[in-house]
Chain A
């Protein structure tokens, strides 16, 4: 590998590390297949989002400082999660004496599909994935990072994940009735507003189920963990995969 190749720090959200190692492996392998030099810094922990969204951003100075220390030296930071990337960009409290690193990290951190389309400038993927796929847009990725146009706005439609998936041979992209309704996960919302969270999840799933979606995919495992948890309780045969898993499997 060319020594001038940018060095990517792989940021794996804590719950992905613990519950979905295959998503992290797929992200790593995908980036490697696309010619990237990737390292996973072992000292990384959690970005602090659960605390901040619960109203304790002020208690996340330590975790945020730690994150900046771990990832500050990389050319790019890439994560298979729109939500955690958004948190790092928007909701890190100002860290004293690390202003420069903080601003660099803000500009160099990317969600996976965003990194592939915007930085690697890959607009189509060649590969095979003969399945009927429904896409769940995570709100933080879509409206926070603008990974896709939101249905409320009058702008030209775009969707970075769709761009990467739609050319895979055999992949059937399913259009939903409500293209970007929230699934109801919402971090601590999923337990503090349990009844609503479940109802929203069931409704979201129903949209996919009615359209005979075989595999439900998305860019954030937190939404998928929630939807999968409901589907599994229902005994639904639907399968769930992260976008990274589909791409990594499809391009071999």
Chain B
């Protein structure tokens, strides 16, 4: 389904669409307010942007630095060129440990690699331990938002789901009660799992450590109880020094949810005696994106989700309308690099309002990249009709006479055609909007009569 079709579907339930918009606006508003309590907010954004630019410009160096230091710390480092190789590496570790059940804390990368279905196909039970992730996992849905994976669901829906899956009281929608039920359910899974998988928010090249940020502490719970910790990390997650971390941690939580700091920022440096830590460094299209000059800096993203919360399109069309692992504005500039044909409508799902770029804590010029992707997509996937009418329009505007003739033809057509034809259903403008009234004279005609 193209984005316009999916968005139109989403908007059919007007009350829910409004609720979705207001819920995410609430998060954005919270982010606005807390960011304004930090006098150096814009300096932090600049700094974060520059650190990331620098890191990306020497990514090969920092990756090797990270590997060298991680190895020194006793971490086992793996390299995966794509999703398939990543999944194979994870399965290989599990098989070696004869492990049939794992717990996982939110990792968008494993979503990107479709790790869950792969492991399930190979007889491994996967339990997502982030509450929102567990909810969408029960529903066999992907997350609809990278920070708030079940934001598209109302508490009534969750109550019903938990009644079915966890046997909670029917109709009890109390969030504390439902969360408690999830905790009891997850506790059991934590205790059973011998391998825990997490994502990585930041890899520190200088120390070979990595940092995982969660609000629920579920990553820590999983990792500390398990014997083996597998951390899946996109190669763009690096920062050079531990001292750079403060810049990012201050920006991340405030941008994501409007909190001053994420509840758990856990540093993993070396395995406890008798335990193992594996880091899988995943490319999966990132090197290709790095090579695209205009789109390179999309790799600066720290996955805070602020561009989704601020996006007037995302708020009114929902995460699923994008049909990509990372939805919203940032997803619309990352996804075409992975599969341009599949995601060809995404860069057009924007008014280029620029709010995403202004909200971005690492200053990715998201809306400008949306514009640039449009230029790329029309080269290979331009619909002929659109292309042709644009060429005609371009021809008209190149010539003053052609412009004048077409302009006055248009005005007289609008004046004289019956309303039923102007507002015909195939005319998308007129479906929900009237056209402006047509004046007697264009400005040009008025000017000739009155000024020259």
A interface, CB within 8 angstroms of B:
12, 14, 16-22, 24-25, 28, 40, 42-46, 48, 50-60, 62-63, 66, 91, 139-140, 143-144, 150-155, 178, 180-182, 184-196, 198-201, 203, 225-226, 228-230, 232-233
Contact = CB atoms under 8 A, between A and B. Distances in A.
Given A20-B439, A200-B313, 17 more contacts: A40-B451, A46-B393, A46-B397, A50-B393, A53-B371, A55-B374, A55-B378, A56-B382, A66-B400, A154-B39, A180-B355, A187-B351, A194-B4, A196-B316, A198-B433, A200-B316, A226-B433
24 contacts: A19-B436, A20-B436, A20-B439, A25-B443, A45-B399, A45-B400, A55-B348, A56-B375, A56-B382, A59-B391, A63-B394, A140-B352, A143-B354, A152-B359, A180-B355, A182-B312, A182-B351, A189-B351, A192-B348, A192-B428, A193-B3, A196-B7, A196-B8, A232-B433
Interface stretch (B30-38, B102-110, B203-211): B30-38
Nearest to B402: A45
Given A20-B436, A184-B351, A44 B21 contact: no
A191 B357 CA distance: 24
Nearest to A196: B7
B352 A186 contact: yes
Counting contact residues on chain B (CB < 8 A from A), the size range is 35 or more
Contact of A57 (B352, B375, B377, B400): B375
Contacts of B35: 154
A235 B14 CA distance: 20
Among B7, B351, B393, B448, the one with the most A-chain Cβ atoms within 10 Å of its Cβ is B351
Contacts of B452: 42
Nearest to B317: A196
Contacts of B348: 55, 188-189, 192-193
8 smallest beta-carbon distances between A and B, as pairs: A186-B351, A229-B433, A55-B378, A55-B374, A143-B354, A139-B353, A24-B443, A62-B398
Contacts of A196: 4, 7-8, 11, 313, 316-317, 349
B447 A153 contact: no
B32 A53 contact: no
A189 B378 contact: no
B29 to A, nearest CB: 9
